[in-house]
């Protein structure tokens, strides 16, 4: 390792306030690696422990780090209605295989203000019978909001499930103009 720490993995994190509550954002030198909903102290502590275990290094709270600054700026702009697309490097190391393939297709192929069915997304990755597996991939998404799993809905018009809670999914879809704003 050189004196600039280039030989070891570095993980930094910070919490940003949003219309759906506090979000923990974590990044490596590769890019944004994790977004965690409802980042209260207890949730934050568990998320940081999981990241340490999965990435093999202790994450450091550093919201002003150059690795996080742009991600925080873009997330804030998204919730302010000033940004529709995220243009960030992403670290996909927390997900692999079919799940990664589905999430990459979701990130590149389902734009702001649109939705896709679980089965339709399965078909896009060449697995038309894998709607349930797509649902599992959405639940495993380490980068919600930025990789927009909230845009995946049931083919019959239902909203489907969501790791951040259905009210959070409704708020995100309302922000993007897909659903009416919740009344309360």
Which active-site residues does the annotation give?
A: 149
Cα-Cα-Cα-Cα dihedral of 108, 64, 94, 30, to 10°?
70
Strands across the sheet containing 12-16: 32-36, 23-27, 12-16, 60-61
d(CA 139, CA 131): 13
- Start-to-end C-alpha separation, the chain: 53
Structure tokens at 37: 């909903």
Quickly tell me which residue has 């992403």 as its tokens.
Answer: 90
How would DSSP label each residue in 17-29?
A: --TTS-EEEEE-S
Phi and psi angles of residue 23, each rounded to the nearest 5 degrees, phi first: -115, 130
Eight-class DSSP state of 90: B
18/59 Cα distance (integer angstroms) = 22
Element (H, E) at 35: strand 32-36
């Amino acid at each position: 390792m050189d004196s600039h720490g280039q030989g070891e993995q570095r993980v930094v994190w910070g919490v940003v306030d949003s219309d759906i509550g506090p979000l923990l954002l974590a990044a490596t030198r590769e890019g944004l690696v994790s977004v965690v909903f409802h980042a209260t102290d207890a949730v934050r502590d568990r998320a940081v422990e999981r990241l340490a275990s999965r990435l093999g290094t202790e994450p450091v709270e550093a919201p002003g780090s150059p690795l996080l600054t742009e991600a925080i700026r873009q997330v804030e702009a998204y919730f302010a209605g000033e940004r529709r697309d995220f243009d960030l490097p992403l670290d996909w190391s927390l997900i692999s295989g079919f799940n990664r393939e589905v999430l990459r297709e979701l990130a590149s192929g389902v734009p702001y203000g649109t939705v896709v069915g679980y089965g339709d997304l399965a078909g896009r990755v060449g697995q038309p019978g894998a709607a349930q597996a797509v649902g599992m991939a959405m639940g495993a998404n380490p980068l919600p909001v930025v990789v927009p799993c909230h845009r995946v809905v049931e083919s019959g018009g239902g909203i489907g499930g969501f790791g951040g809670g259905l009210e959070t999914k409704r708020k995100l879809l309302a922000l993007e103009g897909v659903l009416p704003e919740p009344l309360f």
